[in-house]
Structure 1
Amino acid sequence: MRYDSITEVIGDTPLVRIDPAVHGLRNIDLYAKLEMLNPFGSVKDRAAWHMAQPGLAEAVAEGRTVVELSSGNTAKALAVIAGMHGLPFKSVTNRMKVPEVKDLLLLLGAQIEELPGQAECLDPTDTEDPLTRIHRMLSDGEGATEETGGFLHTDQYFNTRNIEAHATGTGPEILRDLDGRAPDWFIACVGTAGSSTGVARVLREHDPAVGVIGLVAHKSDFIPGIRNIDEVHEVGLFDPATYDTLESVTADEAIDGMLTLVRRCGMLAGPTGGAAYFGAVRHLRPLDEELTERKTAVFIACDRVESYMSYVRQRRPELLNQPPHKNSVAGVTQDELRAVRTMEIDEAQKWIAEQRPLILDLRGPYAYAALHIENSVNIVDELFDTLLQGGLPVGTGQPVLLACPVGEKSTRYAALLTRMGHPDVRSLAGGIVAWRDAGAPLVRH
């Protein structure tokens, strides 16, 4: 096959049947849509090209900068596309959590601007969130100067062309490869909601009975490319009516699913694909036992595993022949979480004034610099993980109050510090967001 441009290679990815000996489903044929085989490595190639293409000629003529609020695969694909057209690309995000992606973006010539967002993705309802402000600036066309020449903002969280890329490509390809039949179930991880919404729309137009299962990350877990149950409602393209059910997957489950795909199926998929596989089998297994006729299910393997070695090393070092972390927050039990002493804002303020605890803020440095509790100390959660490997990182003679954006991570770390022997460690209920919303004092640095 010959092509005139690499963008012509986007799409038309294989649909591959998973060996039943691997997943154990007796009456359901499970297929993986291998979006990781797109030329830039992920399902986001489709949306990036579809969103950017209409404005590229004008952007080139006016010397604009391509901008997206992304720290992952959308940014990677747009950086490639922008570079092909001689345009600069800027990624705006609150935190680059996967080092390999950040390094690749820099290699591609991208500019990276990290801002102190409150969540992992844009929250359009929070008018004080810097990511929201930058989004509005870009959407309104503000911020252009003679030097920048303006912006081409692809706007993945609100641009309906994100959905159209899959309604015109991914969905019809699945129907074609299943000989014109819609699958009985479509299982999709939910990030910007573009792929799940676009594919679901096409499949249900063909057969309204198609079951659509949306997968989100467990509340206290991070899975690259997937929103947790709270964050997903902040995404402009997300419509809960698209899904018959939303189910959560933990980081450990995503890695388990990824291991099955890479070791048993020969599919070098990343943790997002692993989450999709794990969630699909878990949802389908009880249904499979009641079936008397064959059914079909499809999930998406979103991207490739190579970009996530640091993610695996941090969470499952034994997989890379490294000793397991003896003090890992991933091993905290539900009983330990329930035993954590959490403090509401009024109670915490009084306790701080009386006991002078060490206040540890686990957020990123940009969020901390924007607003933080006075006299608190900033230790980013990844660095805190490293410190914990050497033992209890704080003295036992002073009480400790842990804070994070919404109180979930701080509760897990409080449970771990308690297990490690600290006699008085507590978690701020609702985190810095609750503190701010209560009107409690915050300072800037």
Structure 2
Amino acid sequence: MRYESITDAIGDTPLVRIDPAVHGLRGIDLYAKLEMLNPFGSVKDRAAWNMVRAGLPGARQRGETIVELSSGNTAKALALIAGMHGIGFKSVTNRMRIPEIKDLLLLLGAEIEELPGQSECLDPTATDDPLTLFHQRLNAPGSAHLHTDQYFNTLNTEAHATGTGPEIIADLDGRAPDWFIACVGTAGSSTGVARALRAHDPSVGVVGLVARKTDFVPGIRTIDEVQEVGLFDPATYDIIDTVGADEAIDGMLTLIRRCGILSGPTGGAAYHGAVRHLKALDDEGTGRRRTAVFIVCDRVESYLGYVRTRRPELLGMPPARNSVATLTDGEVRSATSIDVADARKWIAAERPLVIDLRGPFAYGALHIEGSVNIVDELFDELVRGGLPFGRRQPVLLACPVGEKSARYAALLTRMGHQDVRSLAGGIIAWRDAGAPLVRD
């Protein structure tokens, strides 16, 4: 095939059948839509091009910079498109959590600005959040930026309603699949594909996958985070289920080692969630073979650091010691949690060490007076080497909603710490109770 521009190669990605010997489903054919084979490497290529295309001539003429609140694949695609058209690109985000992506964006010539957002993703209702205020300024008249606005721009959804979804139907010989299983990030691909499939066949079942609140899976929101995304509509999904980091990595390994698909963890999460959901529906007595489709969003190479941190044994390194991934549900439930009122009394009487596990910008915006900020990834590294403080030192752990802190409290208790507690409901509960918070 011959193209006049690399952007002409966006779309028309393969739909590949997964060998039934791998997934074990008897009456269901499972297909992977390989969006990783878009020219810039991910499913976000479609949305990025669709959102920015019409505004490029005017932006170049006015000397504007393309700006997106992204720390991942959307930023990568937009940086490449901007460079092709002689325009600058700026990625604005709360926290760059994948070092390889940050390095790649810098290599592509992107400017990266990390703003002190109070939460891990944009919350348009938080009018005192610097990230929200920046988002509002980008959309104000007279802005010197071309803001693609992936979380609210319907062109994101349209890219998949007119492209990805119809391609799936065409590759299935004019039929929609019985099920579509999608990870939910900006919700553009899941919403757009679901719209196209259901327009063809209203009976298509749609499963949305979100990350467990205590886990980080690149490209996937937790159920709390996804509520803040403007494109998210819960009516799109028949079921919203959760996947964890280890499940995403396990699914990724299956796709890589058994199927030859160099999937990243998001695709692994989609595969794992699809097989788990479909096994309960796998009935050979229906009289026909049924079909299901999931999306492989991007490639594995950008996530080696993510794998190294969570599953070092896969890269020939010693297994992680003292990892929260090894906790049982019973251990987490038995961890000592303390509500806001009791925490305030305990702090006043015992002066425990208060550790805030949020990102530095969220901590800097508002935190408990006297608390120490140790970002959860760094705290994880510290704990793997052993107890980072004395066994008898009273410790109160706090995170956004009290779930990560509960897991670390359980782990420290297992390791022999004598008095560690988790702030129930996290910093949000502290704020909602009217307890004092300070800012840097």
Task: Name 1:300's counterpart in structure 2.
Answer: 295
Could you tell me which runs of 5 or more consecutive residues in structure 2 were left unpaired when the two chains were aligned: none
Task: Name 1:398's counterpart in structure 2.
Answer: 393
Q: Distance in 2 between matches of 1:123 and 1:353?
A: 33
Task: Name 2:16's counterpart in structure 1.
Answer: 16
Q: Distance in 2 between matches of 1:291 and 1:310?
A: 45
- Alpha-carbon shift at residue 160 of structure 1 (Å): 0.2
SS of 2:102 mapped into structure 1: helix
More displaced 10-residue stretch of structure 1: 123-132 or 22-31: 123-132
> Structure 2: which amino acid aligns with 1:255?
I
SS of 2:109 mapped into structure 1: coil
Is the contact made by 1:115 and 1:367 (CA closer than 8 Å) also made in structure 2?
no
Q: Distance in 1 between matches of 2:306 and 2:205?
A: 31
Is the contact made by 2:401 and 2:427 (CA closer than 8 Å) also made in structure 1?
yes
SS of 1:176 mapped into structure 2: helix
Task: Name 2:352's counterpart in structure 1.
Answer: 357
TM-score by length of 2: 0.98
Task: Name 2:6's counterpart in structure 1.
Answer: 6
> Structure 1: which amino acid aligns with 2:242?
S
Is the contact made by 2:367 and 2:439 (CA closer than 8 Å) also made in structure 1?
yes
State how 1:311-326 maps to structure 2 within 5 Å: 311-326=306-321
Task: Name 2:147's counterpart in structure 1.
Answer: 153
Q: Distance in 1 between matches of 2:346 and 2:285?
A: 58
Is the contact made by 2:32 and 2:294 (CA closer than 8 Å) also made in structure 1?
yes
Is the contact made by 1:118 and 1:433 (CA closer than 8 Å) also made in structure 2?
no
1:277 aligns to 2:248 (yes or no) = no
SS of 2:422 mapped into structure 1: strand
> Structure 1: which amino acid aligns with 2:31?
Y
Q: Distance in 1 between matches of 2:301 and 2:24?
A: 27
Structure 2 residue corresponding to 1:442, chosen from 431, 437, 440? 437
Q: Distance in 1 between matches of 2:160 and 2:379?
A: 40
Is the contact made by 2:368 and 2:436 (CA closer than 8 Å) also made in structure 1?
yes
> Structure 2: which amino acid aligns with 1:6?
I
Deviation string for 1:356-376 (max 9, x for gaps)?
000111111122222211111
Q: Distance in 1 between matches of 2:62 and 2:356?
A: 43
- Alpha-carbon shift at residue 130 of structure 1 (Å): 2.2
SS of 1:406 mapped into structure 2: coil
- Alpha-carbon shift at residue 218 of structure 1 (Å): 1.3
Is the contact made by 1:216 and 1:247 (CA closer than 8 Å) also made in structure 2?
yes
SS of 2:227 mapped into structure 1: helix
Task: Name 2:205's counterpart in structure 1.
Answer: 211
1:170 aligns to 2:164 (yes or no) = yes
Task: Name 2:68's counterpart in structure 1.
Answer: 68
Is the contact made by 1:115 and 1:366 (CA closer than 8 Å) also made in structure 2?
yes
Structure 2 residue corresponding to 1:335, chosen from 327, 330, 334? 330
More displaced 10-residue stretch of structure 1: 168-177 or 370-379: 370-379
> Structure 1: which amino acid aligns with 2:181?
I
- Alpha-carbon shift at residue 118 of structure 1 (Å): 3.3
SS of 1:230 mapped into structure 2: helix
Aligned length: 439
Q: Distance in 2 between matches of 1:353 and 1:65?
A: 50
Task: Name 1:261's counterpart in structure 2.
Answer: 255
Change (3 A) 1:417 1:141: farther
More displaced 10-residue stretch of structure 1: 113-122 or 50-59: 113-122
Q: Distance in 2 between matches of 1:68 and 1:390?
A: 38
Task: Name 2:79's counterpart in structure 1.
Answer: 79
Task: Name 2:140's counterpart in structure 1.
Answer: 140
Is the contact made by 2:352 and 2:394 (CA closer than 8 Å) also made in structure 1?
yes
More displaced 10-residue stretch of structure 1: 327-336 or 115-124: 115-124
- Alpha-carbon shift at residue 121 of structure 1 (Å): 2.0
TM-score by length of 1: 0.97
Task: Name 1:147's counterpart in structure 2.
Answer: none
Q: Moved runs in structure 1, 4+ residues, more than 3 A?
A: none
What root-mean-square deviation, in Å, do the aligned CA atoms of Structure 1 and Structure 2 show? Answer: 1.2
Task: Name 1:429's counterpart in structure 2.
Answer: 424
SS of 2:173 mapped into structure 1: coil
Could you tell me which runs of 5 or more consecutive residues in structure 1 were left unpaired when the two chains were aligned: 145-149
- How many percent identity over aligned positions? 76
Structure 2 residue corresponding to 1:378, chosen from 373, 376, 380? 373
Q: Distance in 2 between matches of 1:414 and 1:394?
A: 13
- Alpha-carbon shift at residue 290 of structure 1 (Å): 5.5
Q: Distance in 1 between matches of 2:248 and 2:99?
A: 19
State how 1:19-30 maps to structure 2 within 5 Å: 19-30=19-30
Is the contact made by 1:118 and 1:405 (CA closer than 8 Å) also made in structure 2?
no
SS of 2:281 mapped into structure 1: helix
Q: Distance in 2 between matches of 1:352 and 1:216?
A: 35
> Structure 1: which amino acid aligns with 2:209?
L
Deviation string for 1:64-98 (max 9, x for gaps)?
11111111111111111111111111111111111
More displaced 10-residue stretch of structure 1: 115-124 or 104-113: 115-124
Q: Distance in 2 between matches of 1:290 and 1:136?
A: 53
